[in-house]
A and B are shown apart, each in its own frame.
Chain A
Amino acid sequence: MSESTQIAWNRKDLTGIEPLSRGEIELILDTAPQFVAVSKRQSGIKKVPLLQGRLVVNWFHEPSTRTRTSFELAAKRLSADTLSITASTSSSVKGETLHDTLANIEAMHSDVIVIRHNCAGAPHILAARHASHIVNAGDGRHEHPTQALLDAFTIREHVRKHTSNPEATLDGVKVAIIGDVEHSRVARSDIWCLNKLGARVCLCGPATLLPMDVERMGVEVTHDLREAIHDADVIYALRIQLERQAKALFPSIREYIRLFRIDSDSLQSAPAHALIMHPGPINRDLELATEVADGPRSVILEQVSNGVAIRMAVMHLLVNSGNKSGS
Protein backbone atom coordinates (compact mmCIF):
# COMPACT_ATOMS: atom_id res chain seq x y z
CA MET A 1 0.00 0.00 0.00
CA SER A 2 1.28 3.45 -0.84
CA GLU A 3 0.08 4.97 2.43
CA SER A 4 3.51 5.80 3.82
CA THR A 5 4.79 7.26 0.55
CA GLN A 6 1.62 9.18 -0.21
CA ILE A 7 2.42 12.82 -0.83
CA ALA A 8 0.45 15.70 0.59
CA TRP A 9 -1.89 17.94 -1.35
CA ASN A 10 -0.96 21.58 -0.74
CA ARG A 11 -2.64 23.52 -3.53
CA LYS A 12 -5.55 25.91 -3.11
CA ASP A 13 -6.61 25.59 -6.75
CA LEU A 14 -6.54 23.29 -9.75
CA THR A 15 -5.74 25.65 -12.63
CA GLY A 16 -4.00 23.18 -14.91
CA ILE A 17 -2.00 19.98 -15.32
CA GLU A 18 1.24 21.69 -16.38
CA PRO A 19 2.26 22.85 -12.86
CA LEU A 20 1.44 19.49 -11.18
CA SER A 21 4.04 16.89 -10.24
CA ARG A 22 3.63 13.23 -11.11
CA GLY A 23 3.05 12.56 -7.39
CA GLU A 24 0.23 15.11 -7.23
CA ILE A 25 -1.45 13.65 -10.32
CA GLU A 26 -1.19 10.14 -8.88
CA LEU A 27 -2.61 11.33 -5.54
CA ILE A 28 -5.74 12.55 -7.37
CA LEU A 29 -5.99 9.27 -9.33
CA ASP A 30 -5.53 7.24 -6.12
CA THR A 31 -8.24 9.25 -4.35
CA ALA A 32 -10.84 8.56 -7.07
CA PRO A 33 -11.68 4.83 -6.74
CA GLN A 34 -13.53 5.28 -3.43
CA PHE A 35 -15.73 7.85 -5.19
CA VAL A 36 -16.41 5.50 -8.10
CA ALA A 37 -17.74 3.13 -5.44
CA VAL A 38 -20.04 5.83 -3.98
CA SER A 39 -21.72 6.38 -7.35
CA LYS A 40 -22.08 2.62 -7.85
CA ARG A 41 -23.84 1.92 -4.56
CA GLN A 42 -26.66 -0.49 -5.37
CA SER A 43 -28.71 0.24 -2.31
CA GLY A 44 -28.58 3.14 0.05
CA ILE A 45 -27.57 6.74 -0.41
CA LYS A 46 -25.26 7.65 -3.30
CA LYS A 47 -23.50 10.48 -1.50
CA VAL A 48 -20.99 11.15 1.25
CA PRO A 49 -20.82 14.13 3.64
CA LEU A 50 -17.30 15.39 2.84
CA LEU A 51 -18.43 18.80 1.53
CA GLN A 52 -21.57 19.10 3.64
CA GLY A 53 -22.59 22.73 4.03
CA ARG A 54 -20.05 23.97 1.46
CA LEU A 55 -21.04 26.09 -1.53
CA VAL A 56 -19.81 25.06 -4.98
CA VAL A 57 -20.51 27.56 -7.78
CA ASN A 58 -20.40 26.41 -11.40
CA TRP A 59 -19.58 29.48 -13.45
CA PHE A 60 -19.63 28.72 -17.17
CA HIS A 61 -18.92 31.33 -19.86
CA GLU A 62 -19.10 28.76 -22.67
CA PRO A 63 -21.72 26.17 -23.52
CA SER A 64 -21.19 22.82 -21.81
CA THR A 65 -23.47 19.98 -20.89
CA ARG A 66 -21.16 17.15 -19.97
CA THR A 67 -18.60 19.02 -17.88
CA ARG A 68 -21.10 21.24 -16.07
CA THR A 69 -23.38 18.32 -15.26
CA SER A 70 -20.43 16.25 -14.13
CA PHE A 71 -19.14 18.96 -11.76
CA GLU A 72 -22.62 19.60 -10.42
CA LEU A 73 -23.23 15.91 -9.76
CA ALA A 74 -19.78 15.54 -8.17
CA ALA A 75 -20.52 18.43 -5.80
CA LYS A 76 -23.94 16.99 -4.93
CA ARG A 77 -22.49 13.51 -4.27
CA LEU A 78 -20.13 15.23 -1.79
CA SER A 79 -23.24 16.81 -0.14
CA ALA A 80 -22.30 20.38 -1.14
CA ASP A 81 -24.81 23.09 -2.06
CA THR A 82 -24.48 24.06 -5.72
CA LEU A 83 -25.25 27.12 -7.83
CA SER A 84 -24.93 27.46 -11.58
CA ILE A 85 -24.20 30.72 -13.35
CA THR A 86 -24.00 30.81 -17.13
CA ALA A 87 -22.70 33.71 -19.17
CA SER A 88 -26.12 34.61 -20.51
CA THR A 89 -27.58 34.89 -16.99
CA SER A 90 -24.63 36.68 -15.42
CA SER A 91 -23.92 40.39 -15.25
CA SER A 92 -20.96 40.00 -17.61
CA VAL A 93 -23.45 40.81 -20.35
CA LYS A 94 -23.97 44.12 -18.52
CA GLY A 95 -20.24 44.80 -18.52
CA GLU A 96 -19.22 43.63 -15.06
CA THR A 97 -15.59 42.46 -14.82
CA LEU A 98 -14.66 38.89 -13.86
CA HIS A 99 -13.10 40.11 -10.61
CA ASP A 100 -16.23 42.04 -9.65
CA THR A 101 -18.54 39.12 -10.43
CA LEU A 102 -16.36 36.76 -8.41
CA ALA A 103 -16.10 39.22 -5.53
CA ASN A 104 -19.90 39.28 -5.42
CA ILE A 105 -20.13 35.48 -5.48
CA GLU A 106 -17.55 35.35 -2.69
CA ALA A 107 -19.53 37.85 -0.64
CA MET A 108 -22.06 35.01 -0.43
CA HIS A 109 -19.30 32.80 1.07
CA SER A 110 -18.56 30.41 -1.73
CA ASP A 111 -16.01 27.66 -1.12
CA VAL A 112 -15.30 26.30 -4.60
CA ILE A 113 -15.64 28.10 -7.95
CA VAL A 114 -15.64 25.90 -11.03
CA ILE A 115 -14.96 28.14 -14.01
CA ARG A 116 -15.03 27.68 -17.76
CA HIS A 117 -13.97 30.68 -19.83
CA ASN A 118 -13.08 31.30 -23.46
CA CYS A 119 -9.98 33.27 -22.43
CA ALA A 120 -6.90 31.21 -21.66
CA GLY A 121 -5.59 32.09 -18.20
CA ALA A 122 -8.86 33.41 -16.73
CA PRO A 123 -8.88 30.81 -13.89
CA HIS A 124 -5.24 31.61 -13.03
CA ILE A 125 -5.94 35.35 -12.75
CA LEU A 126 -8.92 34.70 -10.47
CA ALA A 127 -7.08 32.11 -8.37
CA ALA A 128 -4.30 34.56 -7.58
CA ARG A 129 -6.67 37.23 -6.29
CA HIS A 130 -9.53 35.39 -4.59
CA ALA A 131 -9.79 33.14 -1.57
CA SER A 132 -12.16 30.53 -3.03
CA HIS A 133 -10.78 27.28 -4.40
CA ILE A 134 -10.73 27.72 -8.19
CA VAL A 135 -11.13 24.70 -10.48
CA ASN A 136 -10.42 25.21 -14.18
CA ALA A 137 -13.17 23.54 -16.23
CA GLY A 138 -11.60 24.64 -19.52
CA ASP A 139 -9.92 27.96 -20.42
CA GLY A 140 -9.72 28.89 -24.08
CA ARG A 141 -7.33 26.66 -25.99
CA HIS A 142 -5.16 26.27 -22.91
CA GLU A 143 -6.14 23.52 -20.44
CA HIS A 144 -8.96 21.24 -19.34
CA PRO A 145 -7.28 19.55 -16.37
CA THR A 146 -10.13 17.40 -15.03
CA GLN A 147 -10.65 15.91 -18.50
CA ALA A 148 -6.98 14.88 -18.62
CA LEU A 149 -7.23 13.40 -15.13
CA LEU A 150 -10.33 11.34 -15.95
CA ASP A 151 -8.68 10.18 -19.19
CA ALA A 152 -5.52 9.08 -17.36
CA PHE A 153 -7.63 7.39 -14.68
CA THR A 154 -9.69 5.50 -17.29
CA ILE A 155 -6.53 4.33 -19.10
CA ARG A 156 -4.87 3.29 -15.83
CA GLU A 157 -7.90 1.25 -14.72
CA HIS A 158 -7.78 -0.65 -18.02
CA VAL A 159 -4.01 -1.17 -17.90
CA ARG A 160 -4.42 -2.56 -14.38
CA LYS A 161 -7.23 -4.87 -15.46
CA HIS A 162 -5.40 -5.96 -18.62
CA THR A 163 -2.12 -6.75 -16.81
CA SER A 164 -3.82 -8.09 -13.64
CA ASN A 165 -1.50 -5.77 -11.73
CA PRO A 166 -3.40 -3.46 -9.32
CA GLU A 167 -0.34 -1.20 -9.00
CA ALA A 168 0.39 -0.85 -12.73
CA THR A 169 1.30 2.63 -13.98
CA LEU A 170 1.13 4.32 -17.39
CA ASP A 171 4.87 3.95 -17.95
CA GLY A 172 5.45 2.91 -21.57
CA VAL A 173 1.77 2.95 -22.55
CA LYS A 174 1.32 4.45 -26.02
CA VAL A 175 -1.53 6.89 -26.61
CA ALA A 176 -2.31 8.08 -30.16
CA ILE A 177 -4.25 11.37 -30.19
CA ILE A 178 -5.96 11.89 -33.55
CA GLY A 179 -7.46 15.03 -35.08
CA ASP A 180 -7.73 18.71 -34.19
CA VAL A 181 -4.94 19.18 -31.67
CA GLU A 182 -4.51 22.86 -32.57
CA HIS A 183 -7.84 24.01 -31.11
CA SER A 184 -8.02 21.41 -28.34
CA ARG A 185 -7.41 22.24 -24.68
CA VAL A 186 -8.18 18.57 -23.97
CA ALA A 187 -5.19 17.51 -26.09
CA ARG A 188 -2.88 19.99 -24.37
CA SER A 189 -3.83 18.84 -20.85
CA ASP A 190 -3.74 15.19 -21.93
CA ILE A 191 -0.21 15.57 -23.37
CA TRP A 192 1.11 17.13 -20.16
CA CYS A 193 -0.68 14.59 -17.98
CA LEU A 194 0.29 11.48 -19.97
CA ASN A 195 3.91 12.62 -20.36
CA LYS A 196 4.25 13.22 -16.62
CA LEU A 197 2.84 9.73 -15.98
CA GLY A 198 5.42 8.12 -18.26
CA ALA A 199 3.18 7.36 -21.26
CA ARG A 200 4.27 7.89 -24.88
CA VAL A 201 2.08 10.29 -26.83
CA CYS A 202 1.81 10.32 -30.62
CA LEU A 203 -0.18 13.06 -32.39
CA CYS A 204 -1.75 12.52 -35.78
CA GLY A 205 -3.82 14.77 -38.03
CA PRO A 206 -3.67 17.18 -40.96
CA ALA A 207 -0.72 19.57 -40.68
CA THR A 208 -3.11 22.51 -40.38
CA LEU A 209 -4.64 21.01 -37.21
CA LEU A 210 -1.35 20.26 -35.44
CA PRO A 211 0.31 23.21 -33.67
CA MET A 212 3.69 24.34 -35.01
CA ASP A 213 6.63 23.10 -32.94
CA VAL A 214 4.36 20.72 -31.02
CA GLU A 215 7.27 18.26 -30.84
CA ARG A 216 8.69 20.51 -28.16
CA MET A 217 6.01 19.15 -25.83
CA GLY A 218 7.78 15.79 -26.00
CA VAL A 219 5.48 13.99 -28.41
CA GLU A 220 5.85 12.09 -31.68
CA VAL A 221 4.05 13.58 -34.68
CA THR A 222 2.85 11.84 -37.83
CA HIS A 223 0.38 12.53 -40.62
CA ASP A 224 -0.15 8.82 -41.29
CA LEU A 225 -2.99 7.34 -39.23
CA ARG A 226 -1.78 3.75 -39.63
CA GLU A 227 1.67 4.65 -38.39
CA ALA A 228 0.16 6.42 -35.37
CA ILE A 229 -2.08 3.54 -34.27
CA HIS A 230 -0.18 0.38 -35.30
CA ASP A 231 1.39 -0.01 -31.82
CA ALA A 232 -1.06 2.15 -29.80
CA ASP A 233 -2.59 0.97 -26.55
CA VAL A 234 -5.07 3.83 -26.65
CA ILE A 235 -6.59 5.64 -29.65
CA TYR A 236 -7.95 9.01 -28.63
CA ALA A 237 -10.11 10.75 -31.24
CA LEU A 238 -10.60 14.49 -30.82
CA ARG A 239 -13.73 16.33 -31.91
CA ILE A 240 -13.50 18.10 -35.25
CA GLN A 241 -14.77 21.56 -34.41
CA LEU A 242 -17.04 22.03 -37.40
CA GLU A 243 -17.81 25.57 -36.30
CA ARG A 244 -14.19 26.40 -37.17
CA GLN A 245 -14.25 24.66 -40.54
CA ALA A 246 -15.37 27.95 -42.08
CA LYS A 247 -11.66 28.80 -42.06
CA ALA A 248 -11.09 25.77 -44.32
CA LEU A 249 -8.34 24.18 -42.25
CA PHE A 250 -8.49 21.02 -44.33
CA PRO A 251 -9.66 20.64 -47.93
CA SER A 252 -12.89 18.78 -47.27
CA ILE A 253 -14.68 16.72 -44.67
CA ARG A 254 -14.64 13.82 -47.13
CA GLU A 255 -10.88 13.94 -47.30
CA TYR A 256 -10.55 14.09 -43.50
CA ILE A 257 -12.77 11.02 -43.23
CA ARG A 258 -10.74 9.15 -45.82
CA LEU A 259 -7.40 9.88 -44.12
CA PHE A 260 -8.09 10.19 -40.41
CA ARG A 261 -11.44 8.68 -39.41
CA ILE A 262 -11.29 5.89 -36.82
CA ASP A 263 -13.49 3.16 -38.28
CA SER A 264 -13.43 -0.63 -38.46
CA ASP A 265 -11.33 -0.37 -41.61
CA SER A 266 -8.53 1.82 -40.19
CA LEU A 267 -8.66 -0.09 -36.89
CA GLN A 268 -7.37 -3.19 -38.67
CA SER A 269 -3.89 -1.69 -38.34
CA ALA A 270 -4.26 -1.27 -34.55
CA PRO A 271 -3.54 -3.88 -31.85
CA ALA A 272 -6.62 -5.84 -30.76
CA HIS A 273 -6.45 -4.53 -27.18
CA ALA A 274 -6.36 -0.82 -28.14
CA LEU A 275 -8.95 1.27 -26.30
CA ILE A 276 -11.06 3.87 -28.11
CA MET A 277 -11.55 7.18 -26.30
CA HIS A 278 -13.18 10.51 -27.12
CA PRO A 279 -13.81 13.57 -24.93
CA GLY A 280 -17.29 14.15 -26.39
CA PRO A 281 -19.44 15.40 -27.92
CA ILE A 282 -18.88 13.07 -30.90
CA ASN A 283 -19.48 14.02 -34.52
CA ARG A 284 -20.70 10.55 -35.43
CA ASP A 285 -19.13 9.15 -38.59
CA LEU A 286 -16.82 12.14 -38.95
CA GLU A 287 -13.83 11.62 -36.62
CA LEU A 288 -15.24 8.38 -35.22
CA ALA A 289 -17.42 5.80 -36.97
CA THR A 290 -20.60 4.76 -35.18
CA GLU A 291 -19.62 1.08 -35.17
CA VAL A 292 -16.41 1.99 -33.31
CA ALA A 293 -17.94 4.56 -30.93
CA ASP A 294 -20.49 1.96 -29.83
CA GLY A 295 -18.17 -1.03 -30.23
CA PRO A 296 -16.57 -3.29 -27.63
CA ARG A 297 -13.27 -1.35 -27.50
CA SER A 298 -14.94 1.96 -26.78
CA VAL A 299 -14.63 3.25 -23.19
CA ILE A 300 -16.25 6.61 -23.94
CA LEU A 301 -19.09 6.16 -21.45
CA GLU A 302 -16.64 4.94 -18.79
CA GLN A 303 -14.83 8.25 -19.26
CA VAL A 304 -18.09 10.01 -18.39
CA SER A 305 -18.68 7.88 -15.27
CA ASN A 306 -15.08 8.29 -14.11
CA GLY A 307 -15.35 12.04 -14.66
CA VAL A 308 -17.73 12.39 -11.72
CA ALA A 309 -15.39 10.43 -9.42
CA ILE A 310 -12.31 12.43 -10.51
CA ARG A 311 -14.12 15.73 -9.91
CA MET A 312 -15.21 14.50 -6.47
CA ALA A 313 -11.59 13.62 -5.71
CA VAL A 314 -10.35 17.04 -6.86
CA MET A 315 -12.90 19.02 -4.83
CA HIS A 316 -12.32 16.83 -1.76
CA LEU A 317 -8.55 17.31 -1.92
CA LEU A 318 -8.83 21.08 -2.49
CA VAL A 319 -11.33 21.73 0.29
CA ASN A 320 -10.32 19.16 2.89
CA SER A 321 -6.55 19.25 2.65
CA GLY A 322 -5.76 22.20 0.42
CA ASN A 323 -3.68 25.17 1.33
CA LYS A 324 -6.04 28.05 2.14
CA SER A 325 -3.63 30.80 1.16
CA GLY A 326 -2.24 30.80 -2.33
CA SER A 327 -1.54 28.03 -4.79
Chain B
Amino acid sequence: MSAEQQAYESTIVMDGETMGATIRRLAQLIAEANPDIEALVILGILRRGRPLAERIAAQIEKMTGRRPAVGSLATTLYRDDFRAGLRRPKVHGETQFDFSLDDRTVLLVDDVLAAGRTIRAALDEVMDYGRPRRIQLACLVDRGGRELPIQADYLGWQVATAPNEWIAVHMKEIDGEDAVLLERRAPTPLRQEGAGG
Protein backbone atom coordinates (compact mmCIF):
# COMPACT_ATOMS: atom_id res chain seq x y z
CA MET B 1 0.00 0.00 0.00
CA SER B 2 2.61 2.56 1.05
CA ALA B 3 4.97 1.46 -1.70
CA GLU B 4 2.18 2.11 -4.17
CA GLN B 5 1.52 5.57 -2.74
CA GLN B 6 5.14 6.51 -3.21
CA ALA B 7 4.65 6.30 -6.95
CA TYR B 8 2.31 9.31 -6.71
CA GLU B 9 2.78 12.91 -5.72
CA SER B 10 -0.10 14.88 -4.27
CA THR B 11 -0.84 18.56 -3.75
CA ILE B 12 -3.51 20.06 -1.50
CA VAL B 13 -5.77 22.09 -3.75
CA MET B 14 -8.50 22.84 -1.20
CA ASP B 15 -7.92 23.04 2.55
CA GLY B 16 -10.42 22.25 5.29
CA GLU B 17 -11.58 25.84 5.70
CA THR B 18 -12.26 26.36 1.99
CA MET B 19 -14.00 23.00 1.89
CA GLY B 20 -16.30 24.06 4.75
CA ALA B 21 -17.15 27.29 2.94
CA THR B 22 -17.79 25.39 -0.31
CA ILE B 23 -20.19 22.99 1.43
CA ARG B 24 -22.04 25.96 3.01
CA ARG B 25 -22.40 27.56 -0.42
CA LEU B 26 -23.69 24.30 -1.93
CA ALA B 27 -26.25 24.01 0.90
CA GLN B 28 -27.40 27.58 0.30
CA LEU B 29 -27.92 26.99 -3.44
CA ILE B 30 -29.83 23.76 -2.69
CA ALA B 31 -32.04 25.42 -0.06
CA GLU B 32 -32.84 28.33 -2.40
CA ALA B 33 -33.80 25.99 -5.23
CA ASN B 34 -35.91 23.78 -2.92
CA PRO B 35 -38.12 26.04 -0.78
CA ASP B 36 -40.20 23.01 0.24
CA ILE B 37 -37.60 21.17 2.38
CA GLU B 38 -40.20 18.56 3.39
CA ALA B 39 -40.23 17.32 -0.22
CA LEU B 40 -36.41 17.09 -0.37
CA VAL B 41 -34.50 13.90 0.46
CA ILE B 42 -30.73 13.48 0.13
CA LEU B 43 -28.91 10.29 -0.91
CA GLY B 44 -25.14 10.30 -0.41
CA ILE B 45 -23.24 7.98 -2.75
CA LEU B 46 -20.90 5.70 -0.75
CA ARG B 47 -18.47 6.20 0.61
CA ARG B 48 -17.64 9.90 0.84
CA GLY B 49 -20.91 11.15 -0.58
CA ARG B 50 -22.59 10.00 2.63
CA PRO B 51 -20.71 12.29 5.10
CA LEU B 52 -20.92 15.07 2.51
CA ALA B 53 -24.71 14.59 2.39
CA GLU B 54 -24.89 14.74 6.20
CA ARG B 55 -22.98 18.01 6.23
CA ILE B 56 -25.14 19.55 3.54
CA ALA B 57 -28.27 18.51 5.48
CA ALA B 58 -26.85 20.05 8.68
CA GLN B 59 -26.15 23.33 6.86
CA ILE B 60 -29.65 23.38 5.36
CA GLU B 61 -31.03 22.88 8.87
CA LYS B 62 -28.98 25.86 10.13
CA MET B 63 -30.35 28.05 7.35
CA THR B 64 -34.00 26.94 7.28
CA GLY B 65 -34.62 25.21 10.61
CA ARG B 66 -35.63 22.01 8.81
CA ARG B 67 -33.37 19.07 8.11
CA PRO B 68 -33.94 16.96 5.01
CA ALA B 69 -33.82 13.16 5.45
CA VAL B 70 -30.48 11.57 4.49
CA GLY B 71 -29.70 8.05 3.24
CA SER B 72 -26.91 6.11 1.48
CA LEU B 73 -26.72 4.80 -2.06
CA ALA B 74 -24.18 2.04 -2.85
CA THR B 75 -24.59 1.93 -6.69
CA THR B 76 -22.34 -1.17 -6.74
CA LEU B 77 -25.08 -3.49 -7.97
CA TYR B 78 -25.88 -1.19 -10.91
CA ARG B 79 -22.40 -0.48 -12.25
CA ASP B 80 -21.68 -1.23 -15.91
CA ASP B 81 -17.99 -2.01 -15.49
CA PHE B 82 -18.55 -5.41 -13.85
CA ARG B 83 -19.76 -6.87 -17.10
CA ALA B 84 -16.85 -5.44 -19.04
CA GLY B 85 -14.52 -7.12 -16.55
CA LEU B 86 -12.88 -3.77 -15.78
CA ARG B 87 -13.32 -3.81 -12.07
CA ARG B 88 -13.35 -6.23 -9.18
CA PRO B 89 -16.43 -6.07 -7.02
CA LYS B 90 -15.62 -3.74 -4.15
CA VAL B 91 -18.28 -3.30 -1.53
CA HIS B 92 -18.30 -0.09 0.51
CA GLY B 93 -21.57 -0.79 2.28
CA GLU B 94 -25.22 -1.09 1.50
CA THR B 95 -27.89 1.18 0.17
CA GLN B 96 -29.82 2.35 3.20
CA PHE B 97 -32.67 4.78 3.65
CA ASP B 98 -35.99 4.55 5.46
CA PHE B 99 -38.15 6.96 3.46
CA SER B 100 -40.13 6.80 0.23
CA LEU B 101 -38.72 8.41 -2.91
CA ASP B 102 -42.14 8.70 -4.59
CA ASP B 103 -43.01 12.26 -5.57
CA ARG B 104 -39.96 13.68 -3.72
CA THR B 105 -37.05 15.71 -4.97
CA VAL B 106 -34.09 13.31 -4.63
CA LEU B 107 -30.73 15.06 -4.30
CA LEU B 108 -27.80 12.79 -5.17
CA VAL B 109 -24.55 13.82 -3.47
CA ASP B 110 -21.06 12.63 -4.46
CA ASP B 111 -17.60 13.97 -3.74
CA VAL B 112 -16.09 13.81 -7.24
CA LEU B 113 -17.81 13.90 -10.63
CA ALA B 114 -15.68 12.46 -13.46
CA ALA B 115 -16.84 9.99 -16.14
CA GLY B 116 -20.43 10.17 -14.91
CA ARG B 117 -20.83 6.38 -14.80
CA THR B 118 -21.42 6.29 -11.04
CA ILE B 119 -24.24 8.80 -11.46
CA ARG B 120 -25.74 6.73 -14.30
CA ALA B 121 -25.74 3.72 -11.94
CA ALA B 122 -27.23 5.85 -9.14
CA LEU B 123 -30.06 7.03 -11.42
CA ASP B 124 -30.97 3.44 -12.30
CA GLU B 125 -30.86 2.38 -8.65
CA VAL B 126 -33.08 5.28 -7.53
CA MET B 127 -35.60 4.45 -10.28
CA ASP B 128 -35.81 0.86 -8.96
CA TYR B 129 -36.92 2.22 -5.58
CA GLY B 130 -39.69 4.50 -6.74
CA ARG B 131 -40.73 7.44 -8.92
CA PRO B 132 -39.23 10.70 -7.67
CA ARG B 133 -40.69 14.02 -8.83
CA ARG B 134 -37.20 15.07 -9.87
CA ILE B 135 -33.58 14.02 -9.31
CA GLN B 136 -30.80 16.58 -8.80
CA LEU B 137 -27.04 16.20 -8.39
CA ALA B 138 -24.62 18.01 -6.07
CA CYS B 139 -20.85 17.40 -6.26
CA LEU B 140 -17.93 18.90 -4.40
CA VAL B 141 -15.49 18.67 -7.34
CA ASP B 142 -15.99 18.17 -11.08
CA ARG B 143 -12.68 16.96 -12.48
CA GLY B 144 -13.83 16.59 -16.10
CA GLY B 145 -13.38 13.55 -18.32
CA ARG B 146 -17.09 12.89 -18.85
CA GLU B 147 -18.11 9.76 -20.78
CA LEU B 148 -21.86 10.32 -20.43
CA PRO B 149 -24.07 13.40 -20.85
CA ILE B 150 -24.41 14.14 -17.10
CA GLN B 151 -23.93 17.49 -15.28
CA ALA B 152 -24.15 18.58 -11.65
CA ASP B 153 -26.97 20.95 -10.66
CA TYR B 154 -24.88 22.22 -7.74
CA LEU B 155 -21.10 22.25 -8.04
CA GLY B 156 -18.43 23.26 -5.52
CA TRP B 157 -15.38 23.50 -7.71
CA GLN B 158 -14.42 22.66 -11.27
CA VAL B 159 -10.95 21.63 -12.38
CA ALA B 160 -9.65 20.06 -15.58
CA THR B 161 -7.35 17.15 -14.84
CA ALA B 162 -4.84 15.46 -17.13
CA PRO B 163 -5.11 11.70 -17.77
CA ASN B 164 -2.35 10.97 -15.20
CA GLU B 165 -4.02 13.13 -12.53
CA TRP B 166 -7.00 12.56 -10.27
CA ILE B 167 -8.78 14.18 -7.36
CA ALA B 168 -8.93 12.60 -3.90
CA VAL B 169 -11.37 14.09 -1.41
CA HIS B 170 -10.55 13.50 2.25
CA MET B 171 -13.27 13.89 4.84
CA LYS B 172 -12.87 13.97 8.63
CA GLU B 173 -15.49 11.24 9.14
CA ILE B 174 -13.51 8.73 7.03
CA ASP B 175 -9.97 10.07 6.57
CA GLY B 176 -9.48 12.11 9.74
CA GLU B 177 -9.01 15.40 7.85
CA ASP B 178 -10.82 17.69 5.43
CA ALA B 179 -8.92 18.36 2.20
CA VAL B 180 -9.07 18.00 -1.55
CA LEU B 181 -5.87 16.63 -3.09
CA LEU B 182 -4.69 16.63 -6.67
CA GLU B 183 -2.72 13.43 -7.16
CA ARG B 184 -0.35 12.81 -10.02
CA ARG B 185 1.44 9.69 -11.12
CA ALA B 186 5.17 10.35 -10.89
CA PRO B 187 6.59 10.99 -14.40
CA THR B 188 9.19 8.20 -14.16
CA PRO B 189 8.04 5.24 -12.05
CA LEU B 190 10.74 4.15 -9.62
CA ARG B 191 9.94 0.47 -10.07
CA GLN B 192 8.49 -1.72 -12.75
CA GLU B 193 4.74 -1.84 -12.38
CA GLY B 194 3.18 -5.26 -11.85
CA ALA B 195 0.30 -6.57 -13.91
CA GLY B 196 -2.07 -5.81 -11.05
CA GLY B 197 -1.38 -2.05 -11.09
- Give me the interface of A with B, judged by CB distance under 8 Å: 1, 3-4, 6, 8-9, 30-31, 33-34, 37-38, 41, 43-45, 47-50, 316-317, 320-321
Least distance between B45 CB and chain A CB atoms (Å): 15
Q: Which of B85, B91, B100, B129 has the most CB of A within 10 A?
A: B91
* B102 contacts across to A, CB distance below 8 A: 43
Q: List chain B residues, Cβ under 8 A from A45.
A: 128-129
Docked CA distance A33–B74 (Å)? 12
Contact indicator per residue, chain B 111-134, by CB within 8 Å of chain A (1) or not (0): 000000000000010001110000
Nearest chain B CB to A302 CB, angstrom units = 18
- B30 to A: closest C-beta gap in Å: 25
A44-B128, A45-B128, A49-B124 known; A37 and B78 CB under 8 Å?
A: no
Q: Does B33 contact A (CB under 8 A)?
A: no
7 closest Cβ contacts across the A-B interface? Answer: A44-B129, A48-B77, A320-B82, A45-B128, A37-B94, A34-B94, A44-B128
- With contact pairs A320-B83, A320-B89 given, residues A48 and B130 touching in the complex (Cβ less than 8 Å): no
Contact for B82 among A4, A41, A43, A50, CB less than 8 A? A50
| B191 at interface, CB cutoff 8 A | no
What separation, in Å, do the CA atoms of A9 and B96 have in the docked complex? 26
Closest residue to A324 on the B side, CB-wise?
Answer: B85
Residues of B within 8 A of A (CB-CB), count: 23
Q: Given A37-B95, A43-B129, A49-B124, are A3 and B77 also a contact pair (CB < 8 Å)?
A: no
> Is there contact, CB below 8 Å, between B89 and A321?
yes
Q: List 10 A-B contacts (CB under 8 A).
A: A1-B92, A1-B93, A9-B88, A34-B94, A41-B129, A43-B102, A47-B128, A49-B77, A50-B82, A317-B89
The answer to the question of B105 belonging to the interface, with a C-beta cut-off of 8 Å to chain A, is: no
- A34: B residues at CB distance < 8 A: 74, 76-77, 91, 94-95
Q: Least Cβ distance of A299 to chain B in Å?
A: 21
How far is it, in angstroms, between the C-alpha of A48 and the C-alpha of B1 when the chains are bound?
33
CB distance from B155 to the nearest CB of A (A): 27
Give the complex CA separation of A37 and B77 in angstroms: 11
Chain B: which residue is nearest A33 at the CB level?
B94
8 Å CB contact of B89 from A41, A47, A49, A316: A316
- Complex partner residue of A31 from B91, B93, B128, CB under 8 angstroms: B91
Which residue of chain B is the closest to A4 with respect to CB atoms? B1
List residues of chain A with CB within 8 A of the CB of B77.
34, 38, 48-50
Please tell me if the beta carbons of B89 and A31 are within 8 angstroms of each other in the complex.
yes
- Set of chain A residues within 8 Å of B82, measured between Cβ atoms: 50, 316, 320-321
Q: Which of B1-37 contact A (CB under 8 A)?
A: 1
A3-B92, A8-B88, A321-B89 are known contacts; what are 18 more A-B pairs with Cβ within 8 Å? A1-B92, A3-B91, A4-B1, A9-B89, A31-B91, A33-B94, A34-B74, A34-B77, A34-B94, A37-B94, A37-B96, A43-B102, A43-B130, A44-B128, A47-B128, A49-B78, A316-B82, A316-B89
Task: Kindly report which residue of chain A lies nearest to residue B98, judged by CB atoms.
Answer: A42
Q: In the complex, which residues of chain A have a beta carbon less than 8 angstroms from the beta carbon of B90?
A: 3, 6
User: How far, in angstroms, from A320 to B83 measured CA to CA in the complex?
Assistant: 6
Closest to A3 in B: B90
CB neighbours (8 Å) of A316 from chain B are 82, 89
Of residues 68 through 84 on chain B, the ones whose CB sits less than 8 Å from some CB of chain A are 74, 76-78, 82-83
Distance between A153 CB and nearest chain B CB, rounded to angstroms: 14
**A28 CB to nearest B CB, Å:** 11
